[in-house]
Structure 1
Amino acid sequence: MDAAFGDALVRLLPNLRRYALSLARRPDLAEDLVQITVERAIAHAGTRDPAQRLEPWLFRILRNAFIDMTRRQRSEGTRVDVTENPDILSTDGTAVTEARLMLQATQAAMARLPPDQAEILTLVCIEGLSYAEAAEVLGLPKGTVMSRLSRARLALAEALGIK
């Protein structure tokens, strides 16, 4: 990263914060989005076309980060801090045992899947990567990632007797 890029990035931070706040509507999430944007911009500074303006490129990174964050939150469900709500901790031994058995069965079923299916399930469902991120990691088109993930989910459901 050259000094001019860094200076321009710092100069655009207020603009990024405003845009992030307009998307997230929460200051804490907006700050997270700005941080993600800066990290990604620095990591991919070499791929940026210097003939193009920096601001739209940064806004596109921020918007994509917001979309990724929104999708991840939807798939994760509601997060609850057990230290703030200790009464939600499960003490039902049957539920704990059933959850452990299901986890063991899922791990065993994943071990029997073809390596490409197990890998895509791990990246997207366990590690929480978006389809685009998983495609980048695997060096595949996003559509291929989506179809492999679909086949992997179906195979896993069949192996677990869910489908």
Structure 2
Amino acid sequence: MFDRPALNRLYRYAYTLCGDDTQAYDLLQDTVERCLQRPAGPLVSPEAYAHRVMRNRFIDMARRHNNSPVQTGTNEDAELLAIDTHCLEDLLINRDQLETIWSILDAFEREILYYWAVEDMTAAQIATVVGSRRGTVLSRIHRLRQKLRAALDGKPDSTGGEHP
């Protein structure tokens, strides 16, 4: 059903959601198992189906562990924000910075970063995948970029906290 490159992409996505190697492998295994148990029938995109299954399984696991993957207290109806021309791809991130950044991002932020920077999806495509509005995704990308810049520059973020 999945070739090696597809399994590698699914693993990267699982790791993006979980932030832990062991949990990512467990999530990948559970996802592949559920895909194989699916009643026979044509799928337009088995990998897209696996992404959806994986995301839903992750949300279920997070709810079970009372660790919501979605940051609370955000305004889902946030207005569209103007995104400047400085792209995430232009940021130079070394391994230590990546570990620091990864630790300050919640699961939803990691997911958006994955779709945007790794899968090269547009805000509209991300909104479709995560089941949110495009404006909300743009708003979250904007806040994510601010958080990343603050972490990389060692400046306080918008909440006043300082990152190492």
The question of a shared fold, defined as TM-score above 0.5 by the shorter chain, is answered with no
TM-score of the superposed pair, with normalisation by structure 1: 0.36
TM-score with structure 2 setting the length: 0.36
Relative contact order higher in (CA < 8 Å, ≥ 6 apart): 2
Q: Which is helix-richer, 1 or 2?
A: 1
User: Which has the larger Rg?
Assistant: 1
